[in-house]
Amino acid sequence: MSLWESVGKTIKVGTTSQILFRDTNDYGSKIGAKPIRVSRNWYVWEVNERFKDVGKLEGENRKAYIEIVMNT
């Protein structure tokens, strides 16, 4: 996929292989429906890696950065 790249001149970039992101599709609610209070529909991913469905957010996945993925 290679959608993540470093931009700039610094040599102190570090490693991106340990950065973990998370997101869920449980946003909003339909008119008349009960809003979702606790999502069990989470997925996580690392930079330039595929999404991994994890369901309930547990363990190390709870420490992942919250991100929103948008298709442009």
Residue 11 lies in a domain: no
**pLDDT recorded at residue 13:** 63
Per-residue pLDDT of the chain (72 residues; tens, 9 = 90+): 666 666 777 666 677 778 899 999 887 788 898 888 889 999 999 988 899 999 999 999 999 998 876 665
pLDDT at residue 44, rounded to an integer: 95
Determine the structural domain holding residue 66 and report its residue range: 17-27+37-72
Q: 3-state SS string over the chain?
A: CCCCCCCCCCCCCCCCCCCEEEEECCCCCCCCCCCCCCCCCEEEEECCCCCEEEECCCHHHHHCEECCCCCC
Phi, psi of 51, rounded to the nearest 5 degrees: -70, 145
Q: What is the largest CA-CA distance in the chain?
A: 53
Tally the domains of the chain: 1
